[in-house]
Structure 1
Amino acid sequence: MEPKIRISPHMLDPFHRILDVGLGILILLGLYYFFFPESLYSKSTHISILFSVTAALAVVSFHLAGVYKEWVGSDLVSECNRIIAAIFLVFSGMLLFGYAFKVSSVYSRRVVLAAMFLWPLLLCLERFVVRKFVFRIFADNLVSRKAVVAGCGDLARSLEAWVDGNPWSGIKIMDYFDSANRGGEGAFSCAGSLSDLPEYVKENHINLVFIALPMREESVIDELLQGLADTTAQIFFFPDMSIFKHLVGSEVAHVAGQTAIVLRSSPFEGMNGLIKRLEDLLIASIILLAVSPFMLVIALGIKLTSKGPVLFKQWRYGLEGEPFQIYKFRTMKVLEDGYDFTPARDRDPRITNFGLFLRKNSLDELPQFFNVLNGSMSIVGPRPHAVKMNEDYRKHIHGYMLRHITKPGITGLAQLNGYKGEVRTDEDMQNRISFDIEYLQNWSVLMDLKIIVKTVYKFAWRQ
């Protein structure tokens, strides 16, 4: 019988390195052929240089962004975020080269901008197809990495569910071990005790050991690690972190020579911060260019319907709790621009008729895109509260100040779920904070884009 050809996720690394760079070149070539076919001949030297620089930058950028990290345990959203980061680096490098050598005018902006959107889109689509369909078709021929699990509780069950739902990972769980056989309905039947696990790993050439035990069993885990020291298996520890309800930005860090689990940090440190800032600058610039005529009409309407300035500046808490001035179109007859003010309520007599229209359609928020450009706000994030409101609620709403580990946003997950405008009860604020924390825990570029699209659909031009 002819032996089967065995495949592994790791076998795709060389393929992806060639595909990622080659696809970018093909997209540029195709766009030039579609929009400016004559340039392929008249500017052949310049376009060849563009392709070469793009390829060189792509090789470096994709590596720096960690696109080719081990697939095991890496979810699709994280990989797409790394792809987007890499392509941002590529095009940032192209802009720098174009500026430094004064050749940016030689190349088509339409082609370059179109490639910037198509390249990550097609790469993420390819990853999705490979993970969800290709590996499922060839599941029987996957090279399995044999794993055992130390633990028979809920964590072990979650691991089993993830492995079953992600055949592309190439993991096959062989058995489960625990300090006691937790038989019975709904529980795993363990192969043996934890003391048997190291010998089982050696005898069966196990590649991976997943430790899914409670953190309080430190002595048991230490003894298990001692036993596994004589094996070549990779070991992954899955601590039960459910006691930390507001865990944000968790990762492993090295501080003062010691390894630490970061329980709270901004999701926008390092590369993510660069991606978020580039996203804000790009989208805010496009939106401001598109709505600037409407903003001029709104400004004229404000001047004709009430006395006072067009823009209203008010102090809010921003990143790390630092106050900043937020820009809005003035919608009231009064100008309360200090730290203390009375929040607007339904049928508030201070609101002008034109101001009521602006508020209903969220048009009074448009000047906040200037806050985005100057770096005090982001397009998506927790909505900024007034200073007085912050001081009141931080005293009795658990986790309230977590929202300030990132820049405030023009829109956010809480607003999409109905927590916008007047806060009537503490429960309303608690729910708003819960959605803010959920956003920080699950942030991705795709999540931001989804929130922006839904915001436009839900709030813009309401009657």
Structure 2
Amino acid sequence: MNRRDRGILRAHEAGISVLQRLLDLLIILITIACLYILQGIEQNRDMLAVAAFTLLAFSHLADTFGLYGSWRGERIRDELQKLTGTWLVSALVLISTDKLLLDPKPAYLVQLSLLASLPLLALAIYRTLLRKALKALRYRGFNTRKVAVVGAGSLGVRLAGNIARAPWMGLELLGFYDDERIEPVKLPGRRVKLGVSGNLEQLVQQARAGALDRIYIALPMRSEERIRWLVDQLSDTTASVYIVPDVFVFNLLHARAENIDGIPTISIFDSPMAGTGALVKRLEDILLSSVILCLIAIPMLLISVAVKLTSPGPVFFKQKRYGIDGRSIEVWKFRSMRVMENGATVTQATRNDNRITPVGSFLRRTSLDELPQFINVFLGDMSIVGPRPHAIAHNEEYRGQISSYMLRHKVKPGITGWAQVNGWRGETDTLEKMQKRVEFDLAYINNWSVW
């Protein structure tokens, strides 16, 4: 196996990791220095202290966010998200120490924006160019790893398909190893088939001969004894061994890995609203709901008067609904009906429902009855965008009829959501309509991002 096949960077991985850290810090330092020079700030000890605090914060946070893990199987989008999270917190340190040591006067928005954004932009450009250069090298056969997939079942085929579709990872797929299958396997989206190179005993022989750099064990959960035997045998080799958990038998919802005091775990159902993403979404909700409430204050006052004068009862209707993680919240609406159903039985409103008041009909048709929910958003019970909250009675009715129904509560409910954007709004008089709404709600949760 020649140097080109084994990877020209492999022998220097530790040094390259240190170099990567130093280059990141150097780019941040150069960018900050250029900004201060352009602003006419003299380079003195205070300026050095600001830069030092920022670099220390970034270096520490980079490990917390996992910024210096292996890139080989990670998309550039995921790397840039980690970079953004690391820098956003570091930027708070930069701006705070800058104001404390260099310029205690009120700062211009442009100045703060430059301090917060230009180092991030420089880092993003540098890392993107570095990725492209590494990608070009791997396409030409440099910095590659020879890999094998153990198990030619559905999980192994899916994994092999992902590897084959992403040559930028530099993983040279040699084939499957399986005790039960010998014929070649067709990969998803590929015309050619991938052969089965042998059984598990032959895999161990190849690994001991140094012919494999990485081995991915993609056997089903029921093969526990075979996996134990294989792991024990491969401990006598220099190959890197990875166990691919057979979690795809479940309907995953934003699954991610977590470490519990040294024990790795994988969440099957989880919320995407965590860490920096949750903070950004909450800040967005506070800012937008504040502005919108100011803009709609007079229209809301006029609607309140109209509701009060045209039918007896309160102006607002507060209904118990499920919030994030199934916690009970009170959702505000302008009262549009003569009844105030909020118990174990709630009858959905239908077209030409005689319980709806004349003003309520207009409010419901134009969705103006939902305006008070911006108060819920400001208070933190809801978000502007998210799955629509259903009455508790409806939740209890549908959770037993629709698979994964309650998973829509892994995020805050919203004033509007992906289901409504796609036309699944209003009355759900059939089970199919509710199923489609839940389908789009879960798609939103799985694909949500800050952007």
Band of TM-score, shorter chain: 0.7 to 0.9
**Separation in 2 of the partners of 1:285 and 1:321?**
22
Question: Would you say 1:177 and 2:177 are equivalent positions?
Answer: yes
Distance 1:363 1:111 in 2: 40
Larger mean Cα displacement after TM superposition, 373-382 or 19-28: 19-28
Residue aligning to 2:438: 433
- What's the CA shift string for 1:27-84, capped at 9, x where partnerless? 6566677xxx5x4248977665544433332222222111111113223343233223
Deviations 1:128-178 (A, max 9, x none): 5544x4334322153112222212344333333322333332322233321
Distance 1:233 1:21, change over 3 A: same
76-85 vs 43-52, greater mean Cα deviation? 43-52
Query: Which residue does the alignment assign to 2:376?
Result: 371
Task: Assess, with a 3 A threshold, how the Cα gap between structure 1 residues 128 and 313 changes in structure 2: closer, same or farther.
Answer: farther
Aligned to 1:461: none
Is 1:213 the counterpart of 2:219? The answer is yes
**Structure 1 unaligned residues grouped into runs of 5+:** 447-463
SS state of the match for residue 149, structure 2?
Answer: strand
Distance in 2 of aligned mates of 1:43 and 1:370: 48
User: SS at the partner of 2:194?
Assistant: coil
Name the CA shift for 1:237/1:404 in 2 (closer, same or farther; >3 Å). Answer: same
What is the identity percentage for the equivalent residue pairs of Structure 1 and Structure 2?
30
Q: In structure 2, what is the Cα distance between the partners aligned to 1:345 and 1:122?
A: 56
Three-state SS of the structure 1 residue aligned to 2:222 is coil
After TM superposition, the score normalised by the length of structure 2 is: 0.79
The answer as to whether partners of 1:143 and 1:170 remain within 8 angstroms in 2 is: yes
Distance 1:129 1:366, change over 3 A: farther
Q: Which amino acid aligns with 2:292?
A: V
Answering whether residue 133 of structure 2 is matched by residue 134 of structure 1, we say: yes
Task: Describe the SS at the equivalent of 1:423.
Answer: coil
The residue identity in structure 2 corresponding to 1:210 is Y
The CA deviation at 1:395 is 2.5
Partner Cα distance (2:84, 2:425) in 1: 31
Write out per-residue CA displacement over residues 295-342 of structure 1, whole angstroms, 9 at most, x where no aligned residue: 1232233145331766543221112322111234x1625473734544
In structure 2, which of residues 188, 197, 201 is the aligned counterpart of residue 191 of structure 1?
197
- Structure 2 distance, partners of 1:286, 1:18, is 37
- The aligned counterpart of 1:383 is 388
Asked if the contact 2:210–2:239 (Cα under 8 Å) also holds between the matched residues in 1, the reply is no
Write the letter of the residue equivalent to 2:136. Answer: I
| 2: CA distance, partners of 1:12 / 1:381 | 43
Q: CA deviation at 1:196?
A: 1.0
| Aligned: 1:297 with 2:298 | yes
Worse overlay, 112-121 or 405-414:
112-121
Give 1:200 deviation, angstroms: 0.4
Q: In structure 1, how many angstroms separate the alpha carbons of the residues matched to 2:364 and 2:409?
A: 25
Residue 314 (1) aligns with residue 309 (2): no
Contact 1:62 1:68 (8 Å CA) reproduced: yes
Partner Cα distance (1:98, 1:128) in 2: 28
State the AA in 1 paired with 2:302.
Answer: G
Asked if structure 2 preserves the Cα contact closer than 8 Å seen for 1:152 and 1:177, the reply is: yes
Distance 1:333 1:98 in 2: 56
What displacement does 1:201 show?
Answer: 0.8
Number of residue pairs aligned between Structure 1 and Structure 2 = 433
Equivalent residues in 2 for 1:254-273 (5 A)? 254=260, 261-268=266-273, 273=274
Amino acid at match of 2:229: E
Return closer, same or farther for 1:170/1:258 CA change in 2, 3 Å cut-off. closer
- Give the alignment of 1:45-194 within 5 angstroms: 49-93=49-93, 105-113=105-113, 115-116=115-116, 120=120, 123-124=123-124, 127-128=127-128, 130-131=130-131, 133-138=132-137, 139-140=139-140, 142-183=142-183, 186=186, 187-194=193-200
The residue that corresponds to 1:275 in the other structure is 276
Q: C-alpha separation between the residues in 1 aligned to 2:214 and 2:319? A: 55
CA distance in 2 between counterparts of 1:89 and 1:162 reads: 33
Cα distance change of structure 1 residues 286 and 142 upon mapping to structure 2, 3 Å threshold: farther
Unmatched segments (≥5 aa) in structure 2: 187-192
Compared with structure 1, are the counterparts of its residues 236 and 104 closer, same or farther at alpha carbon in structure 2 (3 Å cutoff)? farther
Residue in 2 aligned with 1:17?
A: 21
Give, in whole Å, the separation in 1 of the partners of 2:32 and 2:363.
Answer: 43
Contact in 2 for aligned 1:377/1:409 (Cα 8 Å): yes
- Provide the secondary structure at the position in 2 that maps to 1:40: coil
The C-alpha deviation readout for 1:221-280, integer Å capped at 9, x for no partner, is 22222211201222112243332124553535559x976544334344xxxx23233213
Instruction: From the superposition, tell whether residues 7 and 264 of structure 1 become closer, same or farther in structure 2 (CA, over 3 Å).
Output: same
* RMSD after superposition: 3.9
Which residue number corresponds to residue 328 of structure 2? 323
Select the residue among 412, 422, 428 that pairs with 2:427: 422
Q: SS where residue 242 of structure 1 aligns?
A: helix
Corresponding residue for residue 454 of structure 1? none
TM superposition shift of 1:119: 5.2
Q: 1:388 to 1:126 in 2, by over 3 A?
A: farther
Contact 1:146 1:172 in 2 (8 A): yes
Bigger Cα displacement from structure 2, 284-293 vs 15-24: 15-24
Contact preservation (8 Å) 1:246, 1:437: no
1:396 aligned to 395, 398, 401, which one?
401
- 8 Å contact 2:185–2:195 — kept in the other structure? no
